[in-house]
Amino acid sequence: MEAARIATVDSDLDRENRALEASTPEELIAWAHERYGDRLIASTSFGSSSAVMLHLIHRVAPRIPIVCVDTGYFFEETYQFADDLIKRLDLDVRFYSPTMSAARQEALYGKLWEQGEEGVQRYLQINKIEPMQRALQELGTEAWMAGLRADQTEHRGGLRRIDRQDGRIKIHPILRWTSEDIDNYMVQHDLPHHPLVAQGYRSIGDHHSTIPTTDDMDPRDGRILGKKPECGLHLPLTEEEDQSLKSSGL
C-alpha cells in the first residue's frame, strides 16, 4: 500500500512539474500557498542571499510561517541581519533551537565538529536535523518551500521544482536561478546581502565551520563542516533516521 501511495504522489508531482514548467518563482509560490494553505511553511538560514527568497515570500504570501533553525553557533552578524530583514519585510519567522544548549553540548561532548565524520553527523543531528523535524511536526507541515538552487551542489542539481522529501512536498521556487539572477533581483529590489559577504564569505553557516572564499573558488568551499556540501536539512533521512524520529514521536 505504501509503495502504491508513493507512486501516486510521484505521478502527481510529475504532472504538476510539467504544468508549472514555465512558471515564475512568484507564480510557484502563489500556487503552493493556494494549494497547501496553512500546511505550507518556508525555511531560511539567513545566509548570503537569503533576502531574495524572503522578499519573494513577502510579496506573494507574507504570512507563510518561515522556519529558521538556530544552532546557537551563528555569526553575530547573522543574528543582526535576521533581525533587520524580519523588521523590514514584516516576516513571520519561527526560530527553532536544539533541545541541548551549545554550552552543554561542548561540556558533555566537546566540539563535535572537530571529531571527524561521526562527530559532524552527531552535531548535525542535534543542532539542525532534529530542530527542523520538530518544526515540521509542530507546524503541521505538508509542504515546505526552500530557496535551493540547482547550481549550488550536485544533490540540488538533481532536484525538481516540486519534489518530495521524507513524505512531504518540497517546493523550490528559485531552483533554476543563477547567481546572476540572484544579483539582478537584489539590485532591482534594493535588497541587502549578508554583511559578511563584503568580507569574502559567500556561503554562510555556523561561525566555527565557515571561511571566506575567493572568486575562483566554489562558494560552498567556504563551508568546512564534514565531507558533504549539504548540512543535512535538505537531504532525505536514511531509513534508520526516519524510524528513529518516528519512534521518538517527531
Catalytically active residues are 231
Query: What letter would DSSP give residue 246?
Result: H
Furthest-apart CA atoms within the chain: distance in Å:
53
Question: What gap in Å lies between CA 214 and CA 204, rounded to an integer?
Answer: 14
- Per DSSP, what are the bridge partners of residue 93? 66
Candidates 165, 153, 135; CA nearest to 250 is 135
Neighbours of 97 (CB within 10 A): 15
Question: What gap in Å lies between CA 223 and CA 232, rounded to an integer?
Answer: 13
Q: 67 — phi, psi (to 5°)? A: -95, 130
Q: Is the dihedral of CA 76, 80, 83, 86 positive or negative?
A: negative
Query: What letter would DSSP give residue 69?
Result: E
Q: 180 — phi, psi (to 5°)? A: -65, -40
Question: What gap in Å lies between CA 202 and CA 219, rounded to an integer?
Answer: 5
Query: What letter would DSSP give residue 197?
Result: G
Based on DSSP, count helices (H) and strands (E) in the chain, helices before strands.
10, 6
